[in-house]
C-alpha cells in the first residue's frame, strides 16, 4: 500500500471508529504546525495498525482502553470508550477491561478510568 492509499484507508477507518463529528473537528483545527501529526496518525495509527487483520476492532478498542487508562490519558480514554461502544463493545466489556487495569496498572488508575467510563457511557448516544 502506498502513502496515498494508506491515508485514504486511514481516514475511512478513523471516521468509522471515532465518528465523523470527531474527525471533522480534528480536521478543522489542523494548522500548519499540527498537519504533519494529523497525517502521521491518519496514515500509521488508522491506515496501518487499526486495519491489520490480526485483531478485531473490538479487541483493538479493549487494548487501547486498557493502555490509555493505565497511562492516565483521560481525554483520549473518553474518546476511545466512545469508539469502543461504536465498535460493538458493551459496557460490561469495558468494565472487565478496567478491572484488568486495576490488577496490572493499579487501583488509582482504574478508579479514575471507571469514573470517566461511567460518565462517557451515560452520555453516549
**Per-residue pLDDT, 119:** 97
pLDDT at 70 over 80: yes
pTM of the model: 0.93
pLDDT of residue 28: 96
pLDDT on residue 122: 96
Tens of pLDDT, residue by residue over 97-117, are: 999 999 999 999 999 999 999
Q: Which long-range contacts (CB under 8 A, 24 or more apart) does 15-24 make?
A: 16/86, 17/46, 17/50, 17/57, 17/61, 17/83, 17/86, 17/87, 18/79, 18/82, 18/83, 18/86, 19/82, 19/83, 19/86, 22/79
- Angle between the 74-86 and 91-105 helix axes, to the nearest 10 degrees? 140
At 1, the pLDDT band (50, 70, 90 cuts) reads confident
CATH number, domain of 61, equals 1.20.1290.10
Q: Both 77 and 118 in a single domain?
A: yes
Domain C-terminal end among 31, 49, 67: 49
Which residue range(s) make up the domain with 76?
A: 57-123
pLDDT tens by residue, 86-102: 999 999 999 999 999 99
Quick check: 125 pLDDT over 80?
no
Same domain, 42 and 16: yes
Residue 2's nearest CA partner among 48, 51, 57 is 48
Q: Are residues 45 and 62 in the same domain?
A: no
Give the whole-number percent of the chain exceeding pLDDT 90.
98
Domain count, the chain: 2
Q: Are residues 69 and 26 in the same domain?
A: no
Provide the pLDDT for residue 83: 97
Per-residue pLDDT at 104? 98
Interval 28-46: pLDDT, tens: 999 999 999 999 999 999 9
Amino acid at each position: 500500500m502506498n502513502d496515498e492509499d494508506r491515508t485514504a484507508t486511514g481516514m475511512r477507518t478513523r471516521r468509522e471508529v471515532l465518528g465523523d463529528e470527531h474527525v471533522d473537528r480534528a480536521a478543522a483545527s489542523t494548522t500548519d504546525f499540527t498537519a504533519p501529526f494529523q497525517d502521521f496518525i491518519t496514515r500509521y495509527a488508522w491506515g496501518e495498525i487499526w486495519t491489520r487483520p490480526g485483531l478485531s476492532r473490538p479487541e483493538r478498542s479493549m487494548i487501547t482502553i486498557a493502555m490509555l487508562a493505565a497511562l492516565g490519558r483521560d481525554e483520549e480514554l473518553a474518546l476511545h470508550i466512545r469508539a469502543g461502544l461504536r465498535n460493538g463493545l458493551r459496557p460490561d466489556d469495558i468494565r472487565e477491561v478496567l478491572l484488568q487495569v486495576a490488577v496490572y496498572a493499579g487501583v488509582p488508575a482504574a478508579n479514575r478510568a471507571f469514573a470517566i467510563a461511567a460518565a462517557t457511557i451515560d452520555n453516549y448516544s
